[in-house]
Chain A
Amino acid sequence: MNGEKLFNAKAQRRKGRKGFLVGSMVGVLLSGCTAPRLPDDPALAALRADGRVLELEQRWRLPAGSDDAAWAQVPPQRVILHPQNAIAPGLDGGDAITAELRAVSDGEGLALRLAWPDAGEDRYSTTHTDRFADAVAVQFAIDGAPPLPYVGMGEPQRPVRLWFWRAGRGAENLAAHGFGTLAANGDTPPAVEARRTADGWVVTLRGPLPATANPLPLSVAVWDGAGAGRDGRKRLSAWQLLLDPRRTADRARLTALAQESRSHGAAQNGARLVREHGCIACHRLPGQAAADIGPDLTRAGALHWPGYLRRSIAEPSAFVLPRATYHAPGSGQTSLMPKLNLPPAAVEAITAYLATLRGGEE
């Protein structure tokens, strides 16, 4: 409570200084009073228990740069980044890495401080044609309606926004609604401050909150220039929910997300069903020969929420990755994967099994 008081006091000071912020700050204060206390929400508790929630700290001002002392008071949160292996070109093999994210908002702006391991500094070079630069992107699902979009660049009806930074090339403010649609969104790029540490990068990105939704789904991706990283040759996180505990959250939205976050099936049954249905004929699964007709599933549970896996099993054509072998020949957007018409319990069991596949991550 002390922290909250301090926050309010600082907000009051700011109100006095900057009149135009009064409205928004009052909104923040009021929401703190009238909204049900979010930690009591059972859906939110479930999402927290599943490790889906990143806390958004409220401060009266955004930290200025990566070395601003204010960051020391913001707890770091772990985000695990897995090699992209669902579509080529991707990363064949390689380990997951852990990034540290700190997130602060002043009610209007968002500051993200990302630190991740990267062996060598690879900056964009205007005197080379064969080099690639280290890069980071934060992707926001701006359309609040469930379900969450596909974690790689969104889907046709579910757009995403991205803050993107490349070493030596600055930042971009981008939008996408599916593979290959990435384009500038017309907004000012985020302010960036980047520096090398002994074994990686610390990058601070600052800009207006990309969307007002609370929680705001985001995912993180990094590219390693030394490994010809660009495009799909990246490591990325599953969707995470950036939650501002001082603002109201849409309870219906939280409930829907909690359903996406969990499967109620028995993973052991799912593993048996996957064997019985011969999924390995097309998909790569742990301990099996590398089938390459459908997407690699060895990290399915690390990159995707059970909700996405459930939808892909029940409705394979709901969203199909753009690779020739994933589509039925001459079908347009129909998945090559047959609709199995499984009973809901079987779908749940397979979902539960796939959710355990995390590429060896503990």
Chain B
Amino acid sequence: MTARQLAMVIDLNKCIGCQTCTLACKSQWTDHGGREFMYWNHVETRPGLGFPKDWEQAGGGWDNGQLRPGRLPRLQEDYGYPAEFGYQALFEAGEKPLRPLQEMQWGPNWDEDQGAGEFPNAYFFYLPRLCNHCTNPACRAACPRQAIYKREEDGIVLIDQERCRGYRYCVAACPYKKIYFNPLAGKSEKCIFCYPRVEKGLPQACAYQCVGRARHVAFLDDRDGAVHRLVNEWKVALPLHAEYGTQPNVYYVPPLSPPQIGPDGRPLDAPRVPEEYLAQLFGPDVGKALDTLRAEMAKKNRGENSALMDLLIAYRHGDMFRLDRPREVV
């Protein structure tokens, strides 16, 4: 545990998969120098294999206090390399459409159009992912050079680029596969939780740019912050794959969904997105979280007051981010 932990809550009911967060991050941090294939923040579609391809089956994390073995994703096959286009074709006569020069095999959100289920009960939802700035990071434990550290003042996990020698044990150890090896630099790199912005009291670019107002940022110990209220008080924000054992600090409000449609065309009592599937991602408490959300949403629909809904609606953009030191801690 560090003295403080900055954390994020992402409301999946508000994420529309527009990738504005992805682009905010990419244009800020990963648009050149061997980082072209990296997405420190990306939005993938679930159910799906995600990015890098099939990351949930790539190992890593903790198993009874021991690091669980993991494998390294491959650049072309698992991440997918951004394709080059022969733009000069635009200046030549002919009917040839503009196409990537190489066949791409995979990429971020590659399987967006798949989802699961059969019409009329097909379903999907979006899952934004970034480094979880874990309280017990497997990446840090796996590095034999102590190149990875967690900042005492905000719990941000960083790779010391001077110490890193590109061994990639961290890449294998991260169960979320959110550390990327930069093959040009020969070093591993990852989401830095926009610490230069955080140090100026600004939220992360991904959170600030989110058009859906889906992301809340606050210190976990800030009792007036949205993160503490949603995670600890309302218990509607849950970590992704807590069973990996790293104690992630990005939390998700699980997605509600419309009812399934029965053979007679009438709505059934079961949600379109099966609760068992959500439990695989967010753990056994997801049902209770969804019940709370449904109950509070119903209140709001009846014209009653719901502090939870007000918090999630986020009437004022600025209310979603609390990066200053709360008074009781100073």
Contacts and interface: CB of A to CB of B under 8 A. Distances in A.
User: Does B associate with A?
Assistant: yes
Interface of A: 89, 124-130, 169, 179-180, 182-183, 230-232
Given A89-B169, A182-B165, A231-B167, A129 B144 contact: no
A127 B144 contact: no
A178 to B, nearest CB: 11
B186 interface: yes
Select the residue from A126, A183, A232 with max chain B CB neighbours within 10 A.
A126
Interface of B: 34, 71-76, 79, 81, 144-146, 162, 165-169, 171, 180-181, 183-184, 186
A128 B75 contact: yes
B145 A127 contact: no
A302 to B, nearest CB: 23
A130 B144 contact: no
A130 B74 contact: yes
Binding site secondary structure of chain B: loop
20 contacts: A124-B186, A125-B183, A126-B183, A127-B81, A127-B183, A129-B168, A129-B181, A129-B183, A130-B71, A130-B73, A169-B186, A180-B144, A180-B145, A180-B146, A182-B165, A183-B162, A230-B166, A231-B165, A231-B167, A232-B144
A179 B144 contact: yes
Contacts, number: 46
B246 to A, nearest CB: 18
Interface pairs A-B: 5 shortest CB-CB = A130-B72, A180-B145, A129-B181, A129-B75, A126-B183
A128 B167 contact: no
Given A89-B144, A129-B72, 5 more contacts: A129-B74, A129-B171, A179-B144, A180-B144, A231-B144
Given A89-B169, A182-B165, A128 B183 contact: yes
A31 B243 CA distance: 69
Contacts of A179: 144
Interface centre among A124, A126, A130 (most CB of B within 10 A): A130
Pick the most buried of A89, A129, A179, A183: most chain B CB atoms within 10 A of its CB.
A129
Contacts of A125: 183
A230 B73 CA distance: 17
Nearest to B79: A129
A124 B168 CA distance: 14
Contacts of A124: 186
Given A180-B146, A231-B144, A129 B167 contact: no
A325 to B, nearest CB: 11
B35 to A, nearest CB: 12
A180 B144 CA distance: 6
B87 to A, nearest CB: 21
Contacts of A183: 162
Given A179-B144, A180-B145, A180-B146, A127 B169 contact: no
B73 A129 contact: yes
B75 A130 contact: yes
Given A129-B74, A130-B74, A182 B145 contact: yes
Contacts of B79: 129
Nearest to A87: B144
A128 B34 contact: no
Contact of A230 (B76, B167, B184): B167
Contacts of B184: 126
Contacts of A126: 34, 183-184
Contacts of A169: 186
A169 B166 CA distance: 12
A125 B169 CA distance: 18
Contacts of A127: 75-76, 81, 183
A361 to B, nearest CB: 27
Nearest to A166: B186
A142 to B, nearest CB: 21
Nearest to B141: A324
A130 B75 CA distance: 7
Given A180-B146, A231-B144, A232-B144, A129 B180 contact: yes
A130 B79 CA distance: 11
Contacts of B81: 127
B81 to A, nearest CB: 8
Contacts of A129: 72-75, 79, 168, 171, 180-181, 183
A85 to B, nearest CB: 15
Contacts of A182: 145, 165
A264 B52 CA distance: 58
B97 to A, nearest CB: 26
Nearest to B166: A230
